[in-house]
């Protein structure tokens, strides 16, 4: 390394930082990031104190959000844990917005600040800008404005209709938040201004259209004949976006409540890609802070002390304890993601025979192009299915276990050997499928000509039941719907096996 | 180019509202927790914050989730000895992934209670929320210490901060019209009649000289100080310290008065307290002696009531004071004392007393003490009685006696 060192002067020594130094580090990192071809939104780096970090945590990482008790709960929880020393604070927090807002904590040392800048402002930032899911599902340039609108709107509702009613509505929406996303078609982009305008127009229209005289007209005989027509199912296709369906078709919601449903739905949609790209997103950001800072070191911009601190912190972040370790809590997305990104670079640069057999289309290619393509076009599930190499399976000592509820033993399905690589990879990839985490529940029938009851269907996979919470969620749903809500438990092959019915109180 | 912003000076309490919402939502549970804490605390240590807990299941937010059971596969790292086809006994808890991993099970069990710390302010608010002195009249003009400011029109003098621009400009306009109108008329006539250019010019100059804004146009907003009617109240605290009052009972009595004292001093700035303790005779004591000095002897309840009347007549005329009384006793009284005391209370005290609360600390909850028997004859609505058997009763009884009346 020393041989490659150019005649650059070290930017700073020791841990102290000031704003001028931040500026210089950021400038150097930006230069290197550009050389590597990272495409980012402009950065807005905000230095905050630890209490402010606690605040930022609570509102799910958005710089602004509406008031709700659950954020208070989150805040209290974090504050307590932090105060008792049970948990440190994250070094950074970055928001998928344009400009990309990243928070730096004032207590961090200079090397840590540089790490965070590289990780968040160039790593995450370029991921937000490039990944197809973020491009399709989020509007980075509008989210902050939209949240300002949402906060104000909900505040106004509280003034007009009372905190209690607003809170009940939000509670119910939050319970259904995981089911507020259209997975299969692209949503319209956000704009706070349009939103406000559209909502005004709707109210105005309803108000102008009201005319009491229509009520007094006698019903036409034809109508009665028409009613005999064949009963058709509504909706014609099952609807997976529960919040959208409620917003559009709930027979009882008032206009302002529909707006709140919509706000929560938009929020759910904004967070949707993050849940699907945890491994990739963190892996990408970690890979880039590692690569960028090492390049700085190679160029003599930072000293050994700086690098020691970086490597220590980096090593902690990418640690993966084994399944029998007390600290184990599942696969660490930083560890897996970083290892995979680094592995892809290795396969491109120094492939061995195994890699040539497994990844014929990426060996000896320019690693930057391959990584960039992967970042843009995959989510965790497909990324793992595509790029997890046998070498990594061996390194992580991955093994798959099958749990059949009718058996009293667990069976080891596959381990890191020739026979097991593909199976381990397939099963690990499946683990990141959204359907494994979030149950597949769809609106099946709305008796819009009858008693207005709503029927949902839980497509149960392999006998996996819902938790007891489900009844509570149904209560929330029936509160929003205003009429009886039924959930059928449907199992492929055996049909509807069970039913839960909830009527509004 | 990145923008670097220093936000450290920004507001640090963004979540204050959310925190308050949370506390408000779980008020009932928290109050229970608060009451438990107070029952355990020493008397001198009442007014502090404290750690409270809420059952976790009460605050969980429901979602549709996939639960345990059914068939699934899980991939874990760190395999050391397993080979394909190995069978492993299922862990008893039926652990999350069914992997035999200790880690996953632990995360789920967690604490039963969501514990957090209330600040002193929050603690006290929860504690005394909804309590109030009944029938408090807010009509008395107090010691002229409290004032409100009221708007009282405009004055020609004042500080610049109070300058009323619209008023001042209006005045200026009126003055200008009044002063220029005759001159302009004159000018018009002069022009019509063909006056000399010098005369016209002189007249025009005169018109010009009239200032746009003059000092006596200025008007200032005027505000007057008015004494504010306040509610002055006095609370008579009557405590039995006779020999039959054991240490336990005295502790209960003192706890009751401590809470009462905290409640009053917190919610009402203008409440005076009179401490009377009695054995066979009564004496007025200061706060310290009331709570801390040992004293013992026989029992004559009447003596305390007599002293209360005496003090009231001396210092607290009922037309300018809201008068309250609270009495704690074990109910032991002899001979005609209970009957006479009850009579004295209903005839000579209740007519000018807004509210009188009697709290009994008897030996057992079933016995009816002589004093309670006599007091139970009192029918006035301004009288209330209740029983405290245990430390944990003190706070609920206080709440019961001073519950805010629903409108």
Q: Which residues contact A460 (CB under 8 A, 6 or more apart)?
A: A489, A490, A491, A497, B70
Residue A1 pLDDT grade (very low, low, confident, very high; cuts 50, 70, 90)? very low
The structural domain count of chain B equals: 3
Residue A377 pLDDT grade (very low, low, confident, very high; cuts 50, 70, 90)? very high
The structural domain count of chain A equals: 3
Q: Chain A interface, mutation test: which of B13, B51, B63, most A Cβ atoms within 10 Å?
A: B63
Contact B399, B131 (CB under 8 A): yes
Joined together, the tokens standing for residue A13 give 């020594």
Contact B385, B372 (CB under 8 A): yes
Q: Are A95 and A127 within one domain?
A: yes
Alpha carbon distance A145, A160 (integer Å): 23
Residue A8 pLDDT grade (very low, low, confident, very high; cuts 50, 70, 90)? low
CB-based contact (8 Å) between A439 and chain B?
Answer: yes
The SS3 call for residue A373 is helix
pLDDT score for A367:
92
pLDDT at A224 over 60: no
DSSP letter, residue A176: T
Residue finishing a domain among A290, A311, A332: A311
DSSP letter, residue B204: H
CB-based contact (8 Å) between A69 and chain B?
Answer: yes
Q: Are A426 and A447 within one domain?
A: no
pTM score above 0.80: no
Q: Are B366 and B234 within one domain?
A: yes
Q: Are B251 and B277 within one domain?
A: yes
Joined together, the tokens standing for residue A380 give 């965790």
Q: Are B25 and B166 within one domain?
A: no
pLDDT digits (tens, 9 = 90+) for A426-465: 999 999 988 888 888 999 888 888 888 899 999 888 888 8
Handedness of CA B51, B54, B59, B65 (dihedral sign): positive
Backbone angles phi, psi at A502, to 5 degrees: -135, 130
Contact A318, B72 (CB under 8 A): no
Q: Which of residues 304-333 of A touch B (CB under 8 A)?
A: 320-331
Alpha carbon distance A477, A26 (integer Å): 48
pLDDT at A473 over 50: yes
pLDDT score for A230:
55
Alpha carbon distance B277, B237 (integer Å): 8
Q: Are B294 and B385 within one domain?
A: yes
pLDDT digits (tens, 9 = 90+) for B167-191: 999 999 999 999 999 988 988 888 8
Contact A342, A287 (CB under 8 A): yes
Residue finishing a domain among B225, B240, B269: B225
Interface predicted TM-score (ipTM) over 0.85: no
pLDDT score for A231:
60
The answer to whether position A338 is within a domain reads no
Contact A121, A26 (CB under 8 A): yes
Both ends of chain B: CA-CA distance in Å? 62
Joined together, the tokens standing for residue A413 give 């399905």
Contact B231, B157 (CB under 8 A): no
DSSP letter, residue B357: E
**Is A328 in Cβ contact with B78 (below 8 Å)?**
yes
Joined together, the tokens standing for residue B270 give 């203008």
The answer to whether position B388 is within a domain reads yes
Q: Are A281 and A365 within one domain?
A: no
**What is the residue whose two structure tokens read 């009816």?**
B368
Mode of pairing for the β-strands spanning B3-6 and B355-360: unpaired
**Is A19 in Cβ contact with B71 (below 8 Å)?**
no
Mean pLDDT, chain B, integer: 80
3-state SS, A204-251, equals HHHHHHCCCHHHHCCCCHHHHHHHCCCCCCCCCCCECCHHHHHHHHCC
- Taking the CA of residue B121 and the nearest CA in chain A, the distance in Å comes to 16
CB-based contact (8 Å) between B21 and chain A?
Answer: yes
Q: Are B37 and B120 within one domain?
A: yes
CB-based contact (8 Å) between A497 and chain B?
Answer: no
Q: How many CB atoms lie within 10 A of CB A320?
A: 20
- Taking the CA of residue A356 and the nearest CA in chain B, the distance in Å comes to 25
Q: Are A391 and A466 within one domain?
A: no
Which of B22, B75, B88 has its CB closest to that of A427?
B75
**What is the residue whose two structure tokens read 């066979």?**
B280
pLDDT at A62 over 90: no
pLDDT score for A387:
93
pLDDT at A83 over 70: yes
The answer to whether position A151 is within a domain reads no
Residue finishing a domain among A436, A462, A487: A436
**Is A412 in Cβ contact with B86 (below 8 Å)?**
yes
Question: Which residue would you say has higher pLDDT here, A86 or A489?
Answer: A489
Contact B359, B326 (CB under 8 A): yes
The answer to whether position A176 is within a domain reads no
pLDDT at A311 over 80: yes
pLDDT at A361 over 60: yes
**If you measure CA to CA, which chain A residue comes closest to B97?**
A403
pLDDT at A73 over 70: yes
Q: Are B392 and B247 within one domain?
A: yes
Range of the domain at A404: 353-436
**Is B63 in Cβ contact with A178 (below 8 Å)?**
yes
pLDDT at A108 over 80: yes
The answer to whether position B193 is within a domain reads yes
The answer to whether position A187 is within a domain reads no
Alpha carbon distance A489, A486 (integer Å): 10
CB-based contact (8 Å) between A132 and chain B?
Answer: no
The SS3 call for residue A418 is coil
The answer to whether position B67 is within a domain reads no
pLDDT score for A290:
94
Q: Are B327 and B357 within one domain?
A: yes
**What is the residue whose two structure tokens read 């001073």?**
B402
Q: Are A391 and A467 within one domain?
A: no
pLDDT digits (tens, 9 = 90+) for B206-247: 888 999 998 889 999 998 887 777 677 888 988 888 877 787
Which of A322, A408, A411 has its CB closest to that of B78?
A322
Alpha carbon distance B299, B275 (integer Å): 17
Which residues face B73 on adjacent strands?
A: A402
Q: What is the mean pLDDT of residues A326-336?
A: 89
Q: Which residues contact B111 (CB under 8 A, 6 or more apart)?
A: B56
| Residues of chain B positioned with their CB less than 8 A from the CB of A158 | none
pLDDT score for B50:
78
Residue finishing a domain among B225, B260, B280: B225
Q: Chain B interface, mutation test: which of A76, A124, A392, A500, most B Cβ atoms within 10 Å?
A: A76
Q: Are A11 and A72 within one domain?
A: yes
Contact B142, B232 (CB under 8 A): yes
pLDDT digits (tens, 9 = 90+) for A120-172: 999 999 999 999 999 888 888 888 889 999 999 999 999 999 989 999 999 99
The answer to whether position A57 is within a domain reads yes
The answer to whether position B90 is within a domain reads no
pLDDT score for A341:
94
Q: Chain B interface, mutation test: which of A49, A410, A419, A478, most B Cβ atoms within 10 Å?
A: A410
Residue finishing a domain among A436, A471, A492: A436
Q: Are A432 and A444 within one domain?
A: no
Residue A5 pLDDT grade (very low, low, confident, very high; cuts 50, 70, 90)? very low
Which of B64, B80, B89 has its CB closest to that of A473?
B64
Q: Are A307 and A374 within one domain?
A: no
Both ends of chain A: CA-CA distance in Å? 71
| Beta strands per DSSP E along A75-173 | 92-95, 100-105
Q: Residue B170: enclosing H or E segment and its boundaries?
A: helix B165-192
Joined together, the tokens standing for residue A335 give 């560890």
Q: Which of residues 66-85 of B touch A (CB under 8 A)?
A: 66-80, 82-85
The SS3 call for residue A397 is coil
Q: Which of residues 34-63 of B touch A (CB under 8 A)?
A: 59-63
Q: Cis omega (within 30 of 0) on the bond before A235?
A: yes
- Taking the CA of residue B204 and the nearest CA in chain A, the distance in Å comes to 56
Q: Are B187 and B210 within one domain?
A: yes
CB-based contact (8 Å) between B19 and chain A?
Answer: yes
**Is B79 in Cβ contact with A75 (below 8 Å)?**
no
Mean pLDDT, chain A, integer: 86
The answer to whether position A171 is within a domain reads no
Q: How many CB atoms lie within 10 A of CB A196?
A: 13
**If you measure CA to CA, which chain B residue comes closest to A57?**
B15
**Is A413 in Cβ contact with B73 (below 8 Å)?**
yes
pLDDT tens per residue across all 407 residues of chain B = 688 888 888 777 778 888 888 888 888 888 888 877 777 777 667 667 778 888 887 888 899 988 888 888 889 998 888 888 888 887 765 444 433 333 333 334 445 678 888 888 888 778 777 677 676 666 555 555 667 788 889 999 889 999 999 999 999 999 999 999 998 898 888 888 887 888 888 888 988 899 999 888 999 999 888 777 767 788 898 888 887 778 788 888 888 888 887 887 777 767 788 888 888 888 888 877 887 777 777 788 888 888 888 888 888 888 778 888 888 888 888 888 888 888 888 888 888 888 888 888 888 877 788 888 888 888 888 888 888 888 788 888 888 887 776 55
Q: What is the mean pLDDT of residues A197-208?
A: 80
- Taking the CA of residue A324 and the nearest CA in chain B, the distance in Å comes to 6
Which residues face A46 on adjacent strands?
A: A103, B5
- Taking the CA of residue A215 and the nearest CA in chain B, the distance in Å comes to 41
Q: Are B251 and B393 within one domain?
A: yes
Q: Are A14 and A109 within one domain?
A: yes
Question: Which residue would you say has higher pLDDT here, B37 or A26?
Answer: A26
- What would the DSSP string read from start to end of A79-99? HHHHHTTS-PPPSEEEE-SSS
Q: Are B242 and B377 within one domain?
A: yes
Q: Are B280 and B297 within one domain?
A: yes
**What is the residue whose two structure tokens read 């007599």?**
B306
The answer to whether position B178 is within a domain reads yes
Contact B249, B332 (CB under 8 A): no
Alpha carbon distance B390, A99 (integer Å): 62
pLDDT score for B103:
34
CB-based contact (8 Å) between B196 and chain A?
Answer: no
Q: Are A391 and A465 within one domain?
A: no
pLDDT score for B256:
85
Q: Are A290 and A381 within one domain?
A: no
pLDDT at A208 over 90: no
| Residues of chain A positioned with their CB less than 8 A from the CB of B10 | 48, 52
Size of chain A, expressed as the number of residues it contains: 505
Q: Are B264 and B182 within one domain?
A: no
The answer to whether position B382 is within a domain reads yes
The answer to whether position B138 is within a domain reads no
Range of the domain at B160: 152-225
Identify the CATH number of the domain in which residue B388 sits: 3.40.50.410
Pick the range with the lowest mean pLDDT from A44-53, A80-89, B374-383: A80-89
Residue A90 pLDDT grade (very low, low, confident, very high; cuts 50, 70, 90)? low
Q: Are A399 and A453 within one domain?
A: no
The answer to whether position B91 is within a domain reads no
Q: Chain A interface, mutation test: which of B74, B94, B110, most A Cβ atoms within 10 Å?
A: B74
pLDDT score for B99:
38
- If phi > 0 it is left, if psi is from -120 to 50 it is alpha, else beta; for residue A261 that is alpha
pLDDT score for A416:
87
**If you measure CA to CA, which chain A residue comes closest to B98?**
A403
């Amino acid at each position: 390394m020393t041989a490659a060192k150019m005649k650059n002067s070290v930017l700073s020594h020791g841990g102290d930082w000031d704003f001028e130094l931040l500026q210089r580090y950021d400038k150097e990192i930006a230069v290197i990031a550009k050389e590597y071809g990272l495409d980012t939104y402009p950065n807005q780096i905000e230095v905050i104190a630890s209490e402010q970090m606690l605040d930022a945590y609570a509102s799910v990482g958005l710089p602004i959000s509406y008031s709700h008790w659950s954020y208070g709960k989150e805040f209290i929880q974090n504050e307590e844990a932090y105060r008792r020393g049970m948990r440190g604070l994250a070094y950074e927090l970055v928001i998928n917005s344009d400009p990309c807002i990243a928070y730096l904590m004032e207590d961090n040392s200079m090397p840590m600040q540089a790490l965070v800048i590289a990780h968040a402002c160039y790593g995450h930032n370029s991921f937000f800008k490039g990944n197809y899911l973020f491009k399709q599902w989020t509007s980075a340039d509008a989210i902050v404005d939209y949240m300002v609108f949402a906060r104000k709107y909900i505040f106004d509702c509280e003034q007009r209709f009372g905190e209690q009613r607003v809170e009940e509505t939000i509670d119910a929406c939050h319970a259904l938040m995981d089911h507020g996303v259209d997975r299969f078609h692209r949503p319209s982009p956000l704009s706070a201004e349009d939103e406000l305008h559209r909502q005004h127009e709707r109210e105005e229209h309803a108000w102008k259209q009201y005319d009491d005289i229509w009520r007094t007209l006698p019903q036409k005989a034809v109508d009665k004949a028409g009613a005999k027509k064949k009963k058709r199912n509504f909706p014609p296709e099952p609807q997976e976006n529960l919040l959208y369906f409620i917003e559009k078709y709930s027979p009882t919601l008032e206009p302002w409540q529909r707006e709140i449903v919509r706000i929560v739905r938009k929020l759910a949609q904004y967070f949707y890609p993050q849940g699907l790209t945890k491994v990739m997103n963190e892996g990408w950001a970690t890979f880039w802070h590692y690569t960028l800072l090492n390049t700085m070191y190679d160029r003599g911009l930072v000293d050994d002390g700086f690098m020691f601190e970086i490597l220590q912190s980096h090593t902690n972040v990418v640690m993966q304890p084994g399944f029998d370790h007390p600290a184990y809590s599942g696969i660490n997305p930083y560890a897996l993601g970083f290892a995979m990104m680094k592995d892809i670079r290795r396969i491109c640069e120094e492939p061995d025979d195994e890699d040539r057999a497994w990844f014929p289309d990426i060996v000896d290619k320019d690693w930057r192009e391959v990584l960039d393509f992967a970042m843009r076009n995959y989510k965790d599930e497909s990324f793992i299915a595509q790029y997890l190499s046998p070498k990594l399976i061996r390194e992580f000592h991955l093994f798959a276990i099958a749990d059949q509820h009718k058996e009293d033993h667990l069976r080891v399905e596959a381990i890191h050997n020739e026979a097991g690589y593909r199976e381990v990879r397939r099963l690990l990839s499946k683990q990141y499928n959204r359907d494994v985490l979030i149950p597949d529940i769809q609106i099946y029938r709305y008796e819009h000509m009858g008693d207005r009851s709503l029927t949902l269907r839980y497509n149960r996979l392999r006998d996996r039941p819902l938790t007891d919470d489900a009844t509570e969620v149904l209560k929330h749903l029936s509160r929003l719907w205003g009429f009886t809500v039924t959930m059928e438990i449907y199992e492929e092959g055996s049909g509807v096996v069970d039913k839960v019915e909830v009527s509004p109180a | 180019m990145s923008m670097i912003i220093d936000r450290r000076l920004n507001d640090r309490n963004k979540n204050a509202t959310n925190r308050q919402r949370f506390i408000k939502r779980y008020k009932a549970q928290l109050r229970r927790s608060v009451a438990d804490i107070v029952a355990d605390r020493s008397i001198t240590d009442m007014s502090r914050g404290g750690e409270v807990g809420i059952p976790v299941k009460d605050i969980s937010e429901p979602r549709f989730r996939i639960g345990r059971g059914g068939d699934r596969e899980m991939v874990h790292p760190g395999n050391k000895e397993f080979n394909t086809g190995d069978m492993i006994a299922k862990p008893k808890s039926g652990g999350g992934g069914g992997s035999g991993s200790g880690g996953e099970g632990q995360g789920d069990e967690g604490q039963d209670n969501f514990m957090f710390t209330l600040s002193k302010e929050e603690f006290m608010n929860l504690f005394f929320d909804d309590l109030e002195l009944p029938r408090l009249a807010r009509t008395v003009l107090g010691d002229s210490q409290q004032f409100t400011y009221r708007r009282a029109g405009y004055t020609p003098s004042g500080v610049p901060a109070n300058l009323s621009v619209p008023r001042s400009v209006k005045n200026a306009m009126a003055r200008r019209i009044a002063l220029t109108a005759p001159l302009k008329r004159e000018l018009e006539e002069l022009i019509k009649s063909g006056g000399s250019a010098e005369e016209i010019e002189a007249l025009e100059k005169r018109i010009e000289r009239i200032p746009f804004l003059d000092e006596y146009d200025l008007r200032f907003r005027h505000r007057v100080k008015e004494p504010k009617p306040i509610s002055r109240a006095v609370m008579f605290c009557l405590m039995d310290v006779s020999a039959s009052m054991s240490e336990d009972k005295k502790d209960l009595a003192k706890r009751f008065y401590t809470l009462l004292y905290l409640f009053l001093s917190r919610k009402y700035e203008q409440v005076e307290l009179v401490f009377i303790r009695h054995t066979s005779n009564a004496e007025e004591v200061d706060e310290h002696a009331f709570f801390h000095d040992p004293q013992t002897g026989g029992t004559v309840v009447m003596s305390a009531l007599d002293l209360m009347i005496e003090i009231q007549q001396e210092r607290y005329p009922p037309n300018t004071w809201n008068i309250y009384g609270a009495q704690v006793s074990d109910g032991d009284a002899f001979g005609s004392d209970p009957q006479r005391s009850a009579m004295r209370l209903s005839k000579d005290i209740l007519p000018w007393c807004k509210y009188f609360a009697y709290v009994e600390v008897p030996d057992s909850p079933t016995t009816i003490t002589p004093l309670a028997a006599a007091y139970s004859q009192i029918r006035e609505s301004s009288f209330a009685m209740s029983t405290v058997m245990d430390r944990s009763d003190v706070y609920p009884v206080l709440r019961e006696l001073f519950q805010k009346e629903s409108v």
